Structure 1
Amino acid sequence: MTAKAIIPDDLKSYYDDWHMSPGLACNGFVFFTGFTGTRADGSLSSDPEMQIRDAFDKVQSVLEAGGMGFGHLVEMTSYHVGLRDHLDIFKSVRDSFVVEPYPAWTAIEVAGFVREGAIVEIRVIARAP
């Protein structure tokens, strides 16, 4: 098995500090770390739409660093604190990023995340070009 880390410059701390790859290409697929809406400076918007958008921006950063776009996604799992409170917002933001053919998607309610105040984490799998 040959695996290659995909590490955009804006997510290098994931690799250096947390010892995890933002994306890991393996056997024709790219497996992504789950991303919350925490920004590079450590801040976290109190606005659910901005948090969700910031999380999708991280996914986009890895996709672009790997020469891909949202059309390469095959599976998405989203984890939510207060799933029913912001599901419509999540779907609206997701629709501004995700394109056809739409990936399979599972949404899961969770009790919390490492970063206090985070309401969503997005994890995806993409098919490498």
Structure 2
Amino acid sequence: MSTQNLKRQTITPPQSQVFYDNYHFPQATRVGDMIWVSGQVGIDATMTPGNGIEEQAHLAFQGLKLALEAAGATLADVVELMTFHTELQADTHAFMQVKHQYFPDRYPSWTAIGISQLALPGLRVEIRAVAVAGCGEA
């Protein structure tokens, strides 16, 4: 692998520029084929949390999908998920139902962690991921 492939790329899709400007973090970082996606939360375009775990999970997975696309990858390239839940035991079943819509097969490794709070009041889940661009191609 050449050193050109090992250059660090900051991935900030236009719709996420406000996070980069205000909070100083990109949506993803890519080095070679490896992509680390920052935690995605269940908020809409107005930064309002979705209503309930299912809506928040869909919003977070959509954010993950957009960050991966901006980095040149897809959900099929995800090799690891780490999820943070403020109501882990109560939300696990519903969250898994949504997760399976985005990962119907070739499941990535997954760690779910119960926590006391997330960055905004009302948030119930945050999803971060590691992907390897191109590894999900059949």
Q: How many residues align?
A: 129
1:90-109 paired onto structure 2 within 5 Å = 90-109=95-114
Letter in 2 for 1:64: E
Contact 2:57–2:98 (8 Å) recurs in 1: yes
Residue 113 of structure 1 corresponds to 118
1:11-50 paired onto structure 2 within 5 Å = 11-50=16-55
Partner of 1:34, secondary structure, is strand
**1:64-110, Cα deviation, whole Å (9 max, x unpaired):** 11222111001000000111111111111111112432110000000
1:75-90 paired onto structure 2 within 5 Å = 75-90=80-95
State the alpha-carbon separation in 1 of the partners of residues 126 and 100 from structure 2. 16
State the alpha-carbon separation in 2 of the partners of residues 90 and 83 from structure 1. 9
Structure 2 unaligned regions, length at least 5:
1-5
**Identity value in percent:** 27
State the alpha-carbon separation in 2 of the partners of residues 9 and 96 from structure 1. 26
Contact 1:36–1:121 (8 Å) recurs in 2: yes
Q: Scaled by the length of structure 2, what TM-score is found?
A: 0.88
Partner of 1:102, secondary structure, is coil
Contact 2:37–2:68 (8 Å) recurs in 1: no
Residue 63 of structure 1 corresponds to 68
